Structure 1
């Protein structure tokens, strides 16, 4: 049997075992439901209009038009309704049919509410009260309030943005963080799964039977490849399901090609990141004989994964163009988490993408050689933990 056929056989064994696992099925299903549910909730919350219903006494219906104009200028949804008299309006406010009853007062306006006045409506009525007082003063002085209000309404503020933020920047940020979070969670789940699988086979002596017919590097490559395919399947299901749900529900209004491109790049970085971390995890799994020993020896690898995630969520939202993040996003062990964020925000130049991918692939090549040697030298040695020096020593 050729080496590649052997690797495929080992990978197929891992793939079959893990795809049928209840943990994999339940975890994937639960996360997919969570992502779809989040998209639906975001759509409902963002699409929900909280209209304020305001009653105006019929005798003071002249307030209705300026009230609507002020509300529109402040982008507050207000519905006005005439009530025959103040007593009727107060009763409707008490029953909850109206949010507020507005009547004129010498110093501005009087507002009756059931419990409290919302901040949006308070702002609208404050502007309207000042406008009513100003109109009265203009009339007393012999001026035309309508003409003054028309002139004031025509006033504008011209804003020149020297470095304008792209449209829908908030959605890009959410998409970038969500992509990085899925990658981070996937690597934290499936990276240690590789080392745990190696230790299980080593402690149960199954590895001795397998190595009687399979060369060590083939067994390691097949295990990493098999678990990697399982991880990729889960990532594609979650990322694809979340993207489709967000676009269908309208929770994500980015152009579909832009959103899809971000998701595709996230999947690519997930695959690259898996091999960057899974290979070292496979090596340390071969160096110990008990699951209890994995925690200490794997902590540097876990730390290398945690650091970019913490830096990303701490710095990128407030400063997408941060120079430190730009440099670290090209460092292979940091790239899988940081680069998807920068891609989603549109701040990663093509040359940085190319450099980061090439550096990551080069490191994967180095890791293949180094971890293959460690696995070959350590996987059959039981008892005390094998040191890195002994594991790397040329056989």
Structure 2
């Protein structure tokens, strides 16, 4: 491959990297990533969500002679102790003095909300089906499900503790009853001797692999849609300006097309590296590092074979769709008609992405997913999901890659012929008969 190929690559890459559109778009997306990475922290900081929600209750200790009130106070006290024992409680109970009457109590509780002493309050009412009272939570917030669910979980523990008190069990035995049952799931391989991608994965490994699959799928989809559109637009713009007439006489169609594709690949890769660096830089900030530490993220748990196959499917998927985008862009004379001409290729890419997101990730072992993993227009997406979330034999992955490479060779050969014939056809879009006749006149 002589210098003409690298001349096209360098010209394409430099032209885009120096363009104002590339710089502005990259800066805007980088800014959005910065905001998105720090959004949970910003929301917490400005909304006060890092502080526990204050829940009021009537403290009727001074009201004597009422067994029900004493029971309610006991429940509220146990509920308060339950939250106080937590490391980072999301709720905190605040006692409000009993005013002696239901009306006065209601006014006192509402005044406490108005004065911002509490965010809401709970009331106790008799329950028809249980000795444990019904709890009513009142606040000004609409559909405050987070607080309601937290109270419900804590009240279940209080109810169990009250019922166990007369059971004769020791405190240690009662604590053992409240401990959750730990279930660990391990992904195993049943294809021993046939060759497979993995040999059993723990929960952490499966979580890391699923996260990586999501990231690679999104990056591949963005690379195909954004860079592919840029390639087609670049070819159409050069054709409409008659620059292509000069280029096509000095560079072979195969080198010209793949030089432009590879140049755009470098542009897209540069942009992705910038975005990943910005994202990692923001994630490593102290306030985000503390948040991630609670998710038990360990990059050493990522399967290295998954990384290798992710790179293979990323590159093959990109170059397959990029050649098609270049070929279609070469037969369109006006940029106004480009979106309509690219619609079939766009739908193919969307179909592969949506098959994974709405079917493949949920059920990677389904027969439909397995069939789609061998169809080259979908396999860069679907087989990656199978490799990351299932455990396919190596021969299946190898066959998918082989079919994909053969398809890239065929599509590349056809695209080069279409590219050479299409870029010299001006005016209306050529018919299939005209394009086929022109393709026969040129050799790749």
User: In which range does the TM-score fall when normalised by the shorter chain?
Assistant: 0.7 to 0.9
| SS of residue matched to 1:145 | coil
Which residue of 2 is the match for residue 86 of structure 1?
A: 98
Instruction: Work out which of the residue numbers 332, 345, 348 in structure 1 matches 2:376.
Output: 332
Q: Which of 135, 150, 155 pairs up with 2:177?
A: 155
Q: How far apart are residue 353 of structure 1 and its match?
A: 4.3
Does the C-alpha gap of structure 1 residues 359 and 302 become closer, same or farther in structure 2, counting only changes over 3 Å?
A: same
> Could you tell me whether the CA contact under 8 Å between 1:320 and 1:347 is conserved in 2?
no
Distance in 2 of aligned mates of 1:365 and 1:35: 37
The residue that corresponds to 1:32 in the other structure is 30
1:12-161 map, 5 Å: 12-42=10-40, 51-55=52-56, 57=59, 59=61, 62-63=74-75, 66-68=78-80, 77-81=90-94, 85-87=97-99, 90=109, 92-99=112-119, 113-115=138-140, 118-124=147-153, 126-127=155-156, 130=159, 145=166, 147=168, 150=171, 154-155=176-177
Preserved CA contact (<8 Å) 2:208 2:301: no
CA drift at 1:14 = 0.8
Distance 1:132 1:167, change over 3 A: closer
Contact 2:216–2:314 (CA under 8 A) maintained in structure 1? no
2:203 to 154, 162, 166: 166
Q: Deviations over 1:30-80 (max 9, x none)?
A: 22222332222246679955634345638367546532465579x964434
Q: How far apart in 2 are the matches of 1:125 and 1:7?
A: 68
Asked if the contact 1:373–1:394 (Cα under 8 Å) also holds between the matched residues in 2, the reply is no
8 A Cα contact 1:53 1:99, kept in partner: yes
- 8 Å contact from structure 2 (residues 373, 383) kept in 1: yes
Pair 1:239–1:386, CA change in 2 (3 A):
farther
Change (3 A) 1:333 1:80: same
> Distance between the aligned counterparts of 2:325 and 2:279, measured in 1?
29
**Are the aligned partners of 1:28 and 1:234 in contact in 2 as well (CA < 8 Å)?**
yes
Aligned partners of 2:308, 2:277: CA distance in 1, in Å? Answer: 9
1:112–1:255 CA distance, 2 compared to 1 (3 A): closer
Structure 2 gaps, min length 5: 62-69, 100-104, 188-201
Q: State the TM-score, normalizing by the size of structure 1.
A: 0.77
Cα distance in 2, alignment partners of residues 359 and 349 from structure 1: 16
> 1:339-350 alignment to 2 at 5 Å?
339-342=383-386, 345=389
1:294 aligned partner: 338
Which residue does the alignment assign to 1:229? 266
CA RMSD of aligned residues (A): 4.1
Corresponding residue number in structure 2 for 1:277: 321
Q: Does the 8 Å contact 2:317/2:380 carry over to 1? A: yes
Paired position in structure 1 for 2:223: 186
- For the 8 Å contact 1:12–1:226, the answer to whether it is kept is yes
Q: Deviation at 1:18?
A: 0.5
CA distance change for structure 1 residues 104 and 175 in 2, over 3 Å: closer, same or farther?
Answer: same
Instruction: Give the total of aligned pairs.
Output: 383
Q: 1:358, 1:42 → 2: CA distance?
A: 44
SS of match in other structure, 2:409: helix
**How far off is 1:6 after superposition?**
0.6
Shift of 1:8: 0.5
Q: What's the counterpart of residue 306 of structure 1?
A: 350
CA distance in 2, matches of 1:103, 1:295: 61
User: In the aligned structure 2, how far is the partner of 1:294 from the partner of 1:105?
Assistant: 68
Offset at 1:207? 1.5
Q: Using structure 2 for the length normalisation, give the TM-score.
A: 0.69
Deviation larger for 325-334 or 36-45: 36-45
- Aligned pair 1:241/2:242, yes or no? no
Match of 2:437 in 1: 390
Q: SS at the partner of 1:147? A: coil
Residue range with higher mean Cα deviation, 104-113 or 31-40: 104-113
- Structure number with higher helix proportion: 1
> Hey, what does 1:6 align to over in structure 2?
4
CA–CA distance in structure 1, aligned partners of residues 140 and 334 of structure 2 = 64
1:93-113 CA deviation, whole Å, 9 max, x = no partner?
Answer: 552323455688886557675
Q: Secondary structure, in 3 states, of the residue corresponding to 1:79?
A: strand
**Equivalent of residue 256 in structure 1, options 299, 309, 329:** 299
Unpaired runs of 5+ residues, structure 1, are: 136-143
